[in-house]
Amino acid sequence: MNRTTTTLLLGLFLVFASMEQPWAGQRSDNNTAGGISAAVDLRHRVVIPQIIYFRIGSDTPNVIEKLNFNVNAGAAGTGNNQSYSGVTPPPVGDGSSISADGGGVLRVSIYANVGSVNLSYDLSDPLGLSDGAGNHIPFDEIEVQSADPSGLPAPPLANAGAGGAISTPITGNLMGGRVTRRDSTWTFSYANNQIVSAGTYNGRVRYTVSAP
């Protein structure tokens, strides 16, 4: 190999050696006095799923609360079969509000990380609570009062076609309204404004919380 070829190869080697290498990490060497540092970027990613949690009454899965109203609770005797011998008529349809067994107080909780939500309900029978024999008590005879009417209001019950489909907005109260966390208690009572046939009247209300 002659001197010219050797010089050319040495020059190419020096050029390749000086080119920047694609290292994932960075290294800094300093053979002189003074500070030295190295910097590496690291990316982080956190994915939060959309969540809506809703509770009325028990927090146990597959448990459906049942509210029992005994209209004859203020009369002589107990239960639906009784003879009344008082001076005034029994309190059936006289407008005296009757609480459910145990006071009719249920805990209500909503947690959602999708901003404000809507609270709505649907009914088992559009005509009201049914005795199974064609007689009904309108759902608006069931009154609901919330301990936090501004934060977690209880939508007033009404038969289908009379306001039962109207949704109630629940405003987000955390992280600038992007998260909703509300807790309250709802107290249910029977208005007792109507005189109806004797019997046991049953009805179901399904509440739903949804993101708009």
Q: Concatenated DSSP letters for the chain?
A: --HHHHHHHHHHHHHHHHSPP--SS------SSS-----------------EEEEES--STT--------GGGGSSSSSSS----SSS--SSSS---EEPGGGSEEEEEEEESSSSEEEEEEES-TT-EE-SSS-EE-GGGEEEEESSTTTSPPPPP--TTTTTT--EEE---BGGGTBEEEEEEEEEEE---S---SS--B--EEEEEE--
Please give the mean pLDDT across all residues of the chain: 84
Percentage of the residues of the chain whose pLDDT score is greater than 70: 73
Choice between 211 and 73, residue whose per-residue pLDDT is larger: 211
* 8: confidence class by pLDDT, cuts 50, 70, 90: very low
* 29: confidence class by pLDDT, cuts 50, 70, 90: low
Percentage of the residues of the chain whose pLDDT score is greater than 90: 61
Query: Would you state the pLDDT for residue 115?
Result: 97
Q: What is the mean pLDDT of residues 119-128?
A: 93
Query: Would you state the pLDDT for residue 87?
Result: 65
* 34: confidence class by pLDDT, cuts 50, 70, 90: confident
Query: Would you state the pLDDT for residue 15?
Result: 45
Q: What is the mean pLDDT of residues 176-186?
A: 98
Query: Would you state the pLDDT for residue 9?
Result: 45
Q: What is the mean pLDDT of residues 142-164?
A: 88
Choice between 138 and 14, residue whose per-residue pLDDT is larger: 138
Query: Would you state the pLDDT for residue 16?
Result: 45
Question: Would you state the CATH architecture of domain 52-69+93-210?
Answer: Sandwich (2.60)
